[in-house]
Structures are given as structure tokens and as C-alpha cells.
Structure 1
Amino acid sequence: MSPITAQLILKPKREKSVLNRHPWLFSGAIGRVDGEPQPGDLVQVLASNGRFLATGYFNPHSQIRVRLLSWDVDEQIDEDFWHGRLQQANRHRQRLKLEPATTAYRLVNAEADGLPGLIVDKYDDFLVIQSLTAGVEAHKEIILAALNEIWQPKGIMERSDADVRAKEGLPKISRVASGESPPETLVIQENGIQFGVNLLHGHKSGFYLDQRENRTAVTHPHHVANKTMLNVFAYTGGFGLYAIANGAAQVTHVDSSYDALVLAEQNVGRNGWKRPQDEYLAGDAFDILRHYRDTDQTFDMIVLDPPKFAHSQRDIERACRGYKDLNWLALRLLPPGGLLATFSCSGLISTELFQKVLFGAAVDARRQVQVIQTLTQGPDHPVLLTFPESAYLKGFLCRVW
């Protein structure tokens, strides 16, 4: 059992977020610290009158000073705690009945599963973990042992290489944490479509698992059959492969990474499709879209799935300009009746703000735009009501005229 090393006493009238069970406690709410906790140590959070509020893990290097784990004074944060939370997440995923058609999905979604800073993804017989906080780092060996006991994978990869670790005072790590190393290209299935993924060097944990339901919705046959698609920020094929499976006449994949596009083309062949008509363009998405605008190129459907544009509050204005320019360019390339599927994975950009940005792009492009479906992350990426920040992925499927 990990001992409680300190007590954090809040300033007067600063306990509301803790009482509302938001799992983050910022440094500005803390009045004093009784004890000398180290990064990752367990601490108790007390109201200004000394009343117990919650237990969490501490990090003096982060503005999020405590990540809260439990609001029960009697709950011990020990091996049984970690094992129980992981088992609960496992039960929730089993109820989704994703397999056998889908063999890659999220098992643990950090705060939304009551485990702040821990992400676990399943890729066939392998697991990929991301340790994003000092608290998870301090308990990582316990967590790895529980993962092996519950899921019995062939191997566990650690992809703790996200930029957010720097804010926690942690180095980036990418390694085989347990068991076998996966093949350089591991083949997974998503809704029966085969994708090759690189678990040690691919984006995120290897694949964009959160877009699974959106790939299905956007590429329904009545949207894509016998149509042309421009798949921007295509990575290893994603939306484009779903469109091919549903009868798209031609798909153009655009990404900044040549290696990702090579894997995308291999994924097309891996599914038995011969597609000489498709294109794979490596380059800057904005430049390519401008070229299409200047040459009067059009597409029946465009998918925009860019990386995160806003990493902090100071990035929001610049990010909104980027999203607006991107969507403005795309709207210029669609004929009347064309479809635009546009996304933001920036947690700091709300759905309402993203819709306002899209509205601005539509006005400037002088196009009428109908939202025909609002899109979000899949059910294996749940949203915790007390932690609205867990609703990070938002998108709109739009008809343009």
C-alpha cells in the first residue's frame, strides 16, 4: 500500500471543484502543504476547516498540483485499488462487444475511467500504455502487473512520449515494457477492415482509435458510393479505406508523412483492393488545398482530421484561425450537395466554439452549410460528466451548397 505522505489544505471557499468530483486540483486553490510530498506521492486534500475531501497524487512540477483518485476517506490506494479500477474498465469494454470484427480499441481512458494520467489501448494480442503523470509513473510497476494478470497480452508497449509529460517533469519513454516486442507492422481489424499499425513509432499509440464510429458514419454508402473523396491528414488511410469499402470511386489521401502514406497504400492492398485511380500526396495540407482551389479542382466529399492545434490556452486564438482557414479552403472545393466531415481533437476548443469557427469559414466562403450529423469520440473513449475535458473530439458532417 502506498502511504499518504502529506495533507494539502485548501484556501477558504476553494473546495467546490473537489466536491463536484472534478479530478484536477490546481495550485492556486492550495493554501498550505503539511508534509514534504515528492512527485507522484499520495496526499489527502482537506477543506480549510480540516474536513477530508479527497485523496490523490501530487506533483509540484505541474499546475495541476493533485490528480484526484478517491473521495472516500476509507478507500486505500493500494494494489487492490489499481486492479479494481482496471477490472471495472475491462468490464465496460467487454459490454461494447467490439470483437471479433474490431481487434483494436481503448481499454482505459484516463480520468474518464477513474485513472488520471493512464491510457491503455488494445491492439490484437498487445497492449500499449501511456503514463502521462507523475502519479502513474510512481505506480507503473503495479499497473503493469495488473495489466498482465487481467488481459494476459503477448506484450505491453509503453508509449509515454507525449509532450504533456514535460509539464509533469518527466522524460519521454518509448519501449517494450513487458513480454514480446510486436512485429514492426502489426495487422489489426476495425469493423472488418485490416490496418497495419506501428506500435512503437506510430502516431499516438499507433492508430486513431477514437474515430472508429465516425469513420462508419461519414462513409456510409449513401455518402460515398461512386463519389470522389479528399482525405486530408489521412495518416495510414482511416476514412479513405472505409470509403473504398463502401464504394467510393476515387480517393486522394493527403498527409505530411510519406511513411504514413506508404502504409496507407499497403493497407489498401492488404484488404485485397486494386486501386490505380487513387492518389497519395505527401505535403503541407494547406498548400495542397490552395493548389486545388487555384486549379478549380473539386471533390464530392472532403474529410479534415487535423492534429491538435491548441495545446494551451494561449494557443486557442491561433488554433481557431487555423481551423477557419482549413475549412474555408475545403468549402471552396465542394460542389453543391458536396459533403464536408470536419474535426477538432483539441480539448480546449469546445464544440460550440468549433461550430462558430465553421460558421465563420462558411460566411467567408459564401457557402450555405447544413450540419447533418454531430460527431464525437467512440464509446470506448467515454466522457466523465464531472470531467467535461474528457470530451475532446468533436466534429460535424455537413452538406454544402
Structure 2
Amino acid sequence: MVDTVVLKSGPHRVLKGSPWIYRTELEPTSAQPGSVVQVKTREGKVLGQGFFNPRSMIAVRVVAWGAQTTVTDDLFRQRVRDAADLRQVVAGGRDAFRVIHSEAHGIPGLIVDKYGPMLVAQVTSLGLLPFLATIWQALTDVYKPVGIYEHGDLSVRDREGLPRENRLVWGELTSPVEIHEHGVRLEVDLLGGQKTGHFLDQYENRGKVAALAGGRRVFDAFSHTGAFGLAAALHGAESVVGIDIDPEAVDRANSNAAINGVEQRTRFVAENAFDWLRRESDLGPQYDLGILDPPAFTKSKQSVPQAIKGYKEINLRGIKLIRPGGFLITSSCSYHLSEPDFIQVIQAAAHDAHRAVRIVEIRGQGPDHPILPALPESRYLKCLILGVGK
């Protein structure tokens, strides 16, 4: 028997197709955490079914819309197949890409990435637990992986009432694995790397760096394991310096440089990128192409003002480092910082740097990370290509 939760009166986003319903939008209910619930309006209209968890601010994540569709194992089997069909179009030929992108594929709280022979998953919804065995089987049927590894040491799982643990859920574990991007060979640590091991959402933007890199001096700040800088080096950059605060990531970047035979033109250093940008920019323009790909500076609306200061600082320094006629590729993965606000940050940074800057292109996450129009939060990555003048 499925419990029912009732929306309070009001202009809720779920009425326009958003899959998120907040605790404050619901009438009191006795439904249990992790259960599947039916969602109704106060007038009795059935909106659909979803996962319920009052521990989370997002109390309901809608899975099935309308009165006729229900949350079943068969539904998730079909969702996995539908996502795989889309991958044939948007990621065909790649050996590393996002397989399941949570709400955008109708499986809230599930991220799955493919790295060569391995699948790596993140589960952040208590309601998914009864269906995981079916989902793992559906994924193995489609992708035939060597193994599926769950990266579960995530703080968000605390709010869901899920244990923080990493575990092999199917098959055998292979790590590190080698993947390929724009001709670059990359070793990815599935156990100790950030996110699920790599930043797959920037794949297309690294291709843009490769196209711009020929003959240029390049810096890659917040370089992680070197994917942006190595794309530049392999596609003709004169020199590349990468900066990241994580010594293990820097070691991996230098190892990846050697694997690709570009170690003579690349140098990855373990240093605070803020400190490096400040020191180097005081010496004046030195580079023709720069990449700024920092971690999220804010995960809440309350900390956006402080995050803006951080984004302005690194972009001001980055702009100062670029010679006239060069390019700065700058990103924000903080979905609480909107694209218009990010552009305002760039304008303010350019003004204070006393440099002319033009936005040549506005980009974002790749098509294997699709966006729900009714859920702006699913468009989290902003990437701007800036032409820098005098």
C-alpha cells in the first residue's frame, strides 16, 4: 500500500514539472522515510509517485508522473535502457561518460559514470535502496562492465540516513583505469579521485582547449589530474603549467604527462592556486591561454556573497596573466551562482584588472549530463571562453 502526501496550497514548482518537493510544501504525514508515496494536491489531483524522506529538505523526489504510472522495478529497467539509447547519440565512441544523471534520467539520487571497463555509482536517495539490485542488473545487461563500484563516502548521505561507505556492488574492482579524451590517455583513480574519479562534465570544454592550444603558453589552475593541461599539450601548446593543492592529484597529472609523452612541455606543481595566481599575475601577462576550473565555492545560497569574492579574485588574476589576443577559459560548477551573476563577476574582474574582455562563447556541461528545464539546479556548470585584449 502506497502512502499519500498532500501539497499545501500555493504556487509550488512541482505543479510546473519540477521533481522536487520541499518539506515546507507538504501537509503533515505519517509516511515513512525511504518509502514510495503518491503525491496529491489539496483538491485531490494525483501528480505522481516519488521517494519520500522527511530528513531531507527535499522531502519528495518525484519519479513517476500522473495517476497511471507507478514506481516499479520495470520502470527503472526502462529508465536505464532509455539513458543508454541517448548515450549512443551523445557519447558514441567514448570510453568514459556519464551513464545516469539522476533526475534528468528519472532516477533521482543516482549518478553512474563509465570509466572503460568499470562503472562508478553514487547513491544519495534512501528511496532507491529497494530498487538497486534491479538497477545494477540493468546496467550490467547494457554495459557488460567488469565491476560496479559505489562511491558512498558522501556527506549528503548523512541527511538521507544512508551509511557513508565505499563498496563493490557487482563484479570485480579494477583501479586505476585508463580512459581516452581527445587523444589524451588518462589514468583515473576510482578509489581516491574526486567525484567518481574524474570530471566528465568538462569533456567538451577540454576539446575546445585542445582546439585553441596550438603554439600557446598555457596555465591550468585547479588542474586536478591534468586533463585540461594535457589536452592543450598534446594538441600543440608550447608549454603548460598546472597548479593544484592536492599532491596526489599532481603526481597523477605528472604521470599522465609521461604516459602521453609530453612531460618535456608540461609541469604540474602542488600549490594553492590562489597563491600561485596572485604571485604570477603580479609579474604581468605571461600566457596565451589560461584555464580556471575551481571546485564549487558555494553549496548554499547563504554563502554566495563569499563565493563571488573568490570567483572575482581568481578571474581578476587570470585575466592579468593573459597576453593581449589570448584566451581565458573560466568555469563555475556552483549552481547557486547563476550564469548572469557569473558574467557579472567576470565584468567586475575585467574592470578591476584594467583589461578589455569579450565573451567569445558560453558553454556548460556536456550532453551526457542533460538538464531538466523545470529544474534549473540541474544546469550547474557554467563555462565562459573569454577573449582578452589590452
Q: Which bin holds the TM-score, normalised by the shorter protein?
A: over 0.9
Which of 148, 151, 155 is matched with 1:156 structurally? 148
Q: Which residue of 1 aligns with 2:58?
A: 64
Q: Which residue of 1 aligns with 2:237?
A: 248
Offset, 1:97: 4.8
Matched-pair contact (CA < 8 Å) for 2:233–2:262: no
Q: Which residue of 1 aligns with 2:128?
A: 136
Whichever residue aligns with residue 228 of structure 1, its letter is R
> Any idea what SS the aligned residue of 2:322 has?
coil
| C-alpha distance in 2 between matches for 1:281 and 1:275 | 13
Whichever residue aligns with residue 18 of structure 1, its letter is V
**Does the alignment pair 1:31 with 2:27?**
yes
- Note the 1:343-362 alignment, pairs <5 A: 343-362=331-350
| C-alpha distance in 2 between matches for 1:218 and 1:244 | 10
Matched-pair contact (CA < 8 Å) for 2:203–2:366: yes
- Note the 1:93-242 alignment, pairs <5 A: 93-99=87-93, 102-183=94-175, 185-220=176-211, 223-242=212-231
| C-alpha distance in 2 between matches for 1:161 and 1:390 | 22
Change in CA separation of 1:343 and 1:97 when aligned onto 2, cut-off 3 Å:
closer
| C-alpha distance in 2 between matches for 1:252 and 1:387 | 37
Whichever residue aligns with residue 10 of structure 2, its letter is K
Matched-pair contact (CA < 8 Å) for 1:372–1:398: yes
Offset, 1:162: 2.9
Deviation sequence 1:271-324 (CA, Å, 0-9, x none) = 2x1432422210111111111123446211110000011111111111111101
- The normalised TM-score by structure 2 is 0.96
Q: Which residue of 2 aligns with 1:257?
A: 246
**Does the alignment pair 1:269 with 2:243?**
no
> Any idea what SS the aligned residue of 2:359 has?
strand
Q: Which residue of 1 aligns with 2:67?
A: 73
Matched-pair contact (CA < 8 Å) for 1:37–1:43: yes
Whichever residue aligns with residue 217 of structure 1, its letter is K
* Alpha-carbon RMSD: 1.5
| C-alpha distance in 2 between matches for 1:109 and 1:253 | 29
> Any idea what SS the aligned residue of 2:361 has?
strand
Whichever residue aligns with residue 240 of structure 1, its letter is G
Offset, 1:164: 2.2
- What 5-or-longer segments of structure 2 have no aligned partner? none
Matched-pair contact (CA < 8 Å) for 2:254–2:267: no
Q: Which residue of 1 aligns with 2:377?
A: 389
> Any idea what SS the aligned residue of 1:173 has?
coil
Whichever residue aligns with residue 251 of structure 2, its letter is V
Offset, 1:325: 0.7
| C-alpha distance in 2 between matches for 1:137 and 1:319 | 35
Matched-pair contact (CA < 8 Å) for 1:188–1:195: yes
Whichever residue aligns with residue 233 of structure 2, its letter is I
| C-alpha distance in 1 between matches for 2:268 and 2:116 | 27
Change in CA separation of 1:97 and 1:324 when aligned onto 2, cut-off 3 Å:
closer
> Any idea what SS the aligned residue of 2:27 has?
strand
Offset, 1:153: 1.1
Whichever residue aligns with residue 361 of structure 1, its letter is A
| C-alpha distance in 1 between matches for 2:69 and 2:97 | 30
Q: Which residue of 2 aligns with 1:310?
A: 298
Matched-pair contact (CA < 8 Å) for 1:10–1:32: no
Q: Which residue of 1 aligns with 2:35?
A: 41
Matched-pair contact (CA < 8 Å) for 1:342–1:396: yes
Deviation sequence 1:211-266 (CA, Å, 0-9, x none) = 1100111331xx22111100001111111111012100000010011111111111
| C-alpha distance in 2 between matches for 1:167 and 1:313 | 18
Matched-pair contact (CA < 8 Å) for 2:257–2:266: no
Matched-pair contact (CA < 8 Å) for 1:175–1:200: no
- The normalised TM-score by structure 1 is 0.94
> Any idea what SS the aligned residue of 1:219 has?
helix
> Any idea what SS the aligned residue of 1:375 has?
strand
> Any idea what SS the aligned residue of 2:44 has?
coil
| C-alpha distance in 2 between matches for 1:367 and 1:179 | 55
Whichever residue aligns with residue 291 of structure 1, its letter is R
Offset, 1:38: 2.2
Change in CA separation of 1:63 and 1:97 when aligned onto 2, cut-off 3 Å:
closer
Offset, 1:377: 0.6
Change in CA separation of 1:274 and 1:367 when aligned onto 2, cut-off 3 Å:
closer
Which of 314, 319, 327 is matched with 1:339 structurally? 327
| C-alpha distance in 2 between matches for 1:246 and 1:389 | 34
Offset, 1:138: 4.2
Matched-pair contact (CA < 8 Å) for 1:126–1:155: yes
Offset, 1:163: 2.8
Offset, 1:172: 1.9
Offset, 1:37: 2.3
Equivalenced residue count is 389
Deviation sequence 1:47-95 (CA, Å, 0-9, x none) = 1122211210100101101000111212221110110111110111012
| C-alpha distance in 1 between matches for 2:341 and 2:111 | 27
| C-alpha distance in 2 between matches for 1:344 and 1:146 | 34
Change in CA separation of 1:360 and 1:86 when aligned onto 2, cut-off 3 Å:
same
Matched-pair contact (CA < 8 Å) for 1:25–1:64: yes
Q: Among the aligned pairs, what percent are the same residue?
A: 37
Change in CA separation of 1:7 and 1:274 when aligned onto 2, cut-off 3 Å:
closer
| C-alpha distance in 2 between matches for 1:152 and 1:61 | 36
Q: Which residue of 2 aligns with 1:22?
A: 18
**Does the alignment pair 1:8 with 2:5?**
yes
